[in-house]
Structure 1
């Protein structure tokens, strides 16, 4: 999980910052409603990018463990209920 975060963290963060800047650019419109909407969306995107996807989701994935990869086939009781031979074996 830490490897996945380090490999994709820069891309996710930069994409979120660019998206937030795009919505923040709408704040120069002289109408009140688009300015408020632009601020709220830009703030929400930054919050999602910097807090949720960088901190909360990796922490939740570490707490939940192998159950994070829910659609995996059930192999039986011997392997903990998760088939570790499929594509999700890399992530575990």
Structure 2
């Protein structure tokens, strides 16, 4: 199987949305409400992080802003979160 990764060179690449489901200490599904550079509104994406401390306070239903480094074409699409900011508590 071929995997396609598109690197984002814009240091301000971010996406916003609601945490749909926490997958592990290092990942979650994001329901995109504000897309940017390849992620569209309404898309569900898998966000992984290198440091599990980034997700310690993350809960399902929270509205977050995620800065990211690129996009893996998969189902669902995946990205590596560089920074996760909780914007609002649960829906």
* TM bucket normalised to smaller: under 0.3
Report the TM-score when normalising by structure 1.
Answer: 0.18
Return the structure number with greater helix share.
1
Structure number with higher relative contact order (C-alpha < 8 Å, ≥ 6 residues apart): 2
Find the structure with the greater CA-based Rg: 1
Report the TM-score when normalising by structure 2.
Answer: 0.18
